[in-house]
Structure formats: structure tokens, C-alpha cells
Structure 1
Amino acid sequence: MLIWIDKRDAPLSPEDIEKTISAEISDKSLYPILYAAVMAHMIHGPCGAINKKSSCMDVEWCTKKFPKDFIAGTIINDNGYPTYRRRDTGVKHPLKRGNVVYEVDNRWVVPYNPWLLLKYDCHINLESCGSLTSVKYIFKHVYKGHENGNIETKKRTHQQLDEDEPKFVWDKISTFLDTRYVSAPEAAWRINKFALSNRSHVISRLAVHLPLQQSVFFQPGNEEQAVANAAFKETTLTAFFILNRDNEEARQYFYREIVNHFAFVKVCGRNYWKRRVQNLKIIGRLYTVSVRQIERFCLRLLLINVKGPTSFENLRTVNGVVLPTFKAAAAALNLLEDDSIWERTMDDAAAFEIPERLRQLFVDICLFCNPTDALYLFERSLPQLREDFIRNGHDAKKAKNLTLKFIQDKLLLNNQTMENL
């Protein structure tokens, strides 16, 4: 995707580019969340001599030209692409890929915008394009003109080579025409200004956010006013709760179905759902949520499967009991996979594996199997997980803390923490 920026806001100097685009690993002590996002999503490869089996490799060389060279400051090149700042800090950061742990530095970072990376928590490569050459491929049909058809015509002459055998030969006269052909149906269609494209359905995007975590937009300097206004402006989700409280008929619909019967309107600073008058073909689509955002992910699961919720608290209520988290509510409704298979896995391994290997197995289950209740699984397997620490003379509390430290250190190597499980 290419975004055109107004000349007044476009980064024109190396300093402006460095404020917008970074190609460095952030300071872990100052920005731990940004550091984890960079290590999880914005490290290329590794490839080259340390990993020749990487998909970007062409025999001996990386097709993306990694690793880059260290450079003290950003340089704007003649081709429109800048060379981004990649300082040599002398620090190597551990990065696990499969069963191998690599050491990476700023030479392996894919350029990114810190704000976008923190907001979406996924791979977003942001580059600065400063010349027409950089965008030629995207707009090639605009700059190359209409589609071309080359027609070659040759004049044919009759030559009597033999009285009984007339033959035709081609002479050397050739004419080339640069033409564009428009068929009669296309010409008539365009002359009558008929639509060249159409859509059968309208897509209505529906917000999925945790309590008091909706997006707030503001101009610099108006932060407090924007926050105050956000308290009175309902999102599609909070307005959906209000609609269910006030309208009993609306409670028979799922969140995704409400768009077929009600329209979300914004009038005089108020946002609310109003009964739909026109019968349109509309598809309600909830924003996708990564499984790493487990609470928001479970909130989305509940919104997909529960009709007529009147509040966030009501959504967490199962059989009359208000559960503390959306994850607990989703588990109570059997919307998440059962953890019994991982319990049996830990029990089977405890019969023959040493405690250190059991702790690594627990880490692998947390990283790659998404257990619904990792804390319960930990507490259930704790006697086997801490057995060697107890045997070495530590009391139960210290043995548990040493076990937790081992697990946390292993999770950090994969850009994950126990708090996110």
C-alpha cells in the first residue's frame, strides 16, 4: 500500500525520517513492549552464512540484502530510498527460530514505525519513497499510457516465376502502427457512462475492544478534550449493549447480525443503533483479533456466540455467576479447547523425564499449544516441576520461585512472558 503525504508533513530530512521510521532494536529497559514487538515481528531471517536454508537465500546471497551495514545516521539517496540509521551498539540480542537461538543486532531489523508496531502488534514494514522511480511499478499503467497493440502490415505482390507455377512472395515494405483498439460493446458502455464495477453487499465493520480501551482520535494539544468526548461517544460495541438494554427485540440477534436490522448512526455527537429502514444486503464483520491478545480474543469469541448481551459484565456472566475474565467465561461455555490433553501429556512425561525437561515441556505447551488455563496447568504439575530444587535443599516457596524463573527465562527467549499466557 502506498500513502501520499502532504508536502507540509512529508519527511524531507534525515532527522524527519528518523522520527518516523526506525531500523533499530529499541532499548529493552526503557521500552520493553516495543522491544518484544520488534524481536517478534521485525527481525529478518536470520539468513546468510549463519542460516543458508532461509527462504530468502539465492545460493550464497540474501535476496533482501541482509544483513545491512552499520551506519551512524540516515542518508537520503538519489534513487529515492534512504539508507536508515543502524548504529553499532555492541549488544547482541538472542532470537529463537525453531530449535536454534541466533544472536542479532540492528543489521537485521526491517524498517518500521514504532507507533504502528505497538498498535497492531504484527509485521508492518514502513519505507520512505522519495522519487517517482520508487513508485513506478505501482502506477505503471498511469504513466505508460493506454494498452498497446502492434500491427505489422506487408504488401503482397504477384510474381510469375514459371508459366505453370504462379507464386506469391512478400516484399520488404512494412508499416508499424501504434494503436489502441476499443470494441463496440465497450465503446457503447463507456459512452452511456454505465458503471464499470459494482458490489453485491456492504461490509459493516464492528468494533471489538475491552472496557475503556476503545480508540480515541484527537489533534495534538486536545488530548483531555478528546478523552472527555470519548466517554459520551459510543462505539458499535457499547451502543450494541445499550440497544439490548433498551430494546427487547434486539436481544434475539448476535452482534454480527444486528447490522441487518439496525443501522449505526452518528447524529449531533451521539452514536447509536437505529432501526433500519432500507433492506440492504449487509454483512457484519467483527475485527479480527490475534490469539496473543487472549482477553480480547475471548471477548470476540463471546460476541460471536452469545446473543443480546447488555454489558461487558453481562457477557462474563455464565449460569448466573460473574466470572473474573472473558477467558474464564469462554472456557465455561466450552468455546475454548479442553486442557485435558496437556494434563495427560505432563503426567505421562513425569513418569520418565527429569524435572528440567518437564519444565521445558511446559514452556513448549504454553508457546505453541495455547492452553486455556496455563496457571492451573502449572499448579497441577508443580510438584514434578520443582522436584530437583526440593531435592537440593530449597524450601517449597523458593523451589516454586526458581521454577517460575526458569519458565520465564525460556519464555523471554521467544518474546513471550508469563503475564501474557
Structure 2
Amino acid sequence: MAICKHFGYPDLFLTITCNPNWPEFQRFTERERISIADRPDISCRVFHAKLKCLLSDLKEGVFFGPLSAALYNVLTKYMIHGPCGRLRPSSPCMKDGKCSKFYPKRFVDQTSFDEDGYPIYRRRNMGVAVKINDVDIDNRFVVPYNPLLLMKYQAHINLEFCNKSNVIKYLFKYINKDPDRVTATVGETYHVSESSQVVDEIKQYYDCRYLSPSESMWRIFAYDIHHRWPSVQRLTFHLPNQQHVVFDDADITTHVYLRNKDLLTIFTGWMIANRRFLDGRSLTYVEYPGKFVYCSNSREWKPRQRGFSIGRLSFAHPSSGELFYMRMLLNVQ
């Protein structure tokens, strides 16, 4: 939310799916004579490398420009939904006789928005079709995409236009959704004559978290589960003489006091920095990390030489009294 407050709400929502037919996988499969599905460690490493390259391209490259040639082949291979609907009622996306993803779309000449604010993309009837599962598929089944990203990464990359601010709610739900779970039981097989034997159902019940091989390897490699850029720095604040002090249970109270009585916090260090640096006086506490960096070793703020960061004030409940009103003041003063 701090990033949205600084830059505004997002314009695009992009997802990428690993492609088991990437050339890197095919070379490994041909050499080792083993399916890539049996080597989740290899697939995770390759996907992680592709993901880092994609993030670099989005930050530094220009991918939302003119159309490129040779697009038809990759589009029909990776960005076609279905077939479903009347063409294929048994499709996994079908629920209650309809596609849960609302395909096929309808042909329209201009992009517009429906009553709920969702985009209706331009889909022209160009008379072009591709045969998938013995069914002719036209432009109504094409998933929104970016041509350059699709051609470079050769994978299913869905790109959607964001027209509503509540996409942030969906983004957090997407990142923090619960893991897959499974309910399992472990028991013995009894004959009919032994049906009177007591069975401990509580002991035999297990509520387990399911980790697929790919997710297991991803966590073993300690890859990021989610990532944000630019970085967000949490800024603490406190009332006079109410800063937090960290100590061990065995520490002597006098020693704790002497060690911390003249120690600057991030908040008091910001006040000291405003006396030294004139450039920072026009910035609020939240804006300060954009121009200055806090050195934890020396406990002081210094002018930033490179990089960028966004500040975010820690939460204060309305019942906290003066601390809550101080947070309101720090956002504007």
C-alpha cells in the first residue's frame, strides 16, 4: 500500500507460467533421458532465472511498444483458452454449463469498460482461426497478452489492464492465499468378523499441508515467495521517552538504562538529521527515505548516494491516544 500511495494504483497485472517445453528443459531431457517433471530442482532454477530476467526487462526494457513479426505461432501455442463452452463441454473450466473464465468473448471493435469497471478488450473478427483439439478457435478465445514478452519468454504470460483500485485487494489475496491442504487417515484393514474392534479415529486423523515437488524445491533453494520493488522502509515513531528497548532477561536494569539512555532511534535520528541537512526539512518523515538513508550501525541518517526507498509509518490504533494523532501529524508536517 505504501508503493500505491507513492506511485498510484497499478496499471497492469501480469502473470507468467512455467513452460515445460522451454529449450533448456528439452536439452536436459534429451541428454539425461529423464522427464523434466522428475527434476523439480532443475525446473525451479530455470524458472527462477527466467523470472529474474522478466523483472529486469520490466524495469529497464521497453516491452509495451510496436508489434513484432512471427507472433502468430507463439500466440496460438500459449495464449489460447479452451476450447470450452459448446465446442467442448467437458473442459475443466466449465461450471454449471458455462465457462468460469467467461470465454468465448464477443467480437468488439473498440476497447471499453462494463458496468463493474472491467475492461472489454477490442477483439476484431479477422477471419483467422487455428485448429485445437479438432476445433476451430478464433480471436474470441485469445487471452490478453503483450507481443514482445510473449515472443521472448515463450510461455503463458497473461497481461490485464487494471481499471479499479480494488485490484490491490486481489493482489494480496493472490500472494497470501492459503496453501493446499489434504486430509489423510492411516488405518488397518479389518475383516467383517473383526468389525467390533475399537478404532481410534482421532489418532488416525491427520490434517496435512501439501507441498508439490516444485514448491518444495523453491523453498529449499530459499527463493523469494514474493518480492516488491522499490523497497519499503518501515518507520517507527514514539512519544518522548517511550521508545522500545531490547534486552535479555538476565540483564541488570541499571546497565540496560545506561546503554540505551543516549541511544538514538530512527525517529529521533530523523530529528537530529533535520538540524544538519537543510534539504531534508521540506520532506515529511515518510518522504525522507527517498533522499536519505538510515545507517543502523552509526544510528544516523545520511544523504542517499544511490537507490531509492519508500517510507511507511508503523500502524497506530486510534485507542493509542497521542501516538495516533502524532502519526496523523507526521503524514503532513
What TM-score bracket applies, with the shorter chain setting the length?
0.3 to 0.5
TM-score, with structure 2 as normaliser = 0.33
Give the structure with higher Rg (CA): 1
TM-score, with structure 1 as normaliser = 0.27
| Structure with more contact order per residue of length (Cα contacts < 8 Å, sep ≥ 6) | 2
